[in-house]
Amino acid sequence: MKFILALIAIIGVVFSQSGETKIEQSLNKLYKAIDASGTPDGKVTKAEFTGYFKKFDPNGDGLDKEEFKKSLADVAPELEEALWREFDNDRDGKLITYAELESDFDEFDVNDDEKLSEVEFVEAIVLGMIFHDEIDSGEKDGKVTEQEFVDFFKKAAAKDGKDGLSVEELKDALGGKDKYPGYIVEKFYMLLDVNNAIKNKNSAQEKEIKNSFDAFNANNDGHLTVEEFRNAIMNGIVGQVFAKLDKDGNGKLTADEIIQVLDGNKDKKIEIGEVREALKGIAEDQIKVLFKKLDINKDNVIDADTADDKKNEVKQFVDANDENHDGNLDWTEFQVALGVPIG
For the beta carbon of residue 97, count every other beta carbon within 10 angstroms: 18
- The pLDDT score that the predictor gives to residue 342 is 62
Cα 60 from Cα 5, distance rounded (Å): 43
- The pLDDT score that the predictor gives to residue 189 is 87
pLDDT in 10s for each residue of the chain, 343 residues:
444 444 444 444 444 444 688 899 999 999 999 999 989 999 999 999 999 999 999 999 999 999 999 999 888 887 899 999 999 988 888 999 999 999 999 989 987 789 999 999 999 999 999 999 999 976 777 899 999 998 898 888 877 666 678 888 899 999 888 899 999 999 898 888 766 666 555 555 677 788 889 989 988 899 999 999 998 898 888 888 999 999 888 889 999 999 999 999 999 999 999 999 999 888 888 899 999 999 999 999 999 988 888 889 999 999 999 999 999 999 889 999 988 766 5
The pTM for the full model equals 0.80
Terminal CA-to-CA distance of the chain, rounded, Å?
Answer: 16
- The pLDDT score that the predictor gives to residue 77 is 84
- The pLDDT score that the predictor gives to residue 8 is 46
DSSP assignment letter at 63: B
Residue 294, helix vs strand vs coil: helix
Beta 223-225 vs 143-145: how paired, if at all?
antiparallel
- The pLDDT score that the predictor gives to residue 246 is 92
For the beta carbon of residue 18, count every other beta carbon within 10 angstroms: 10
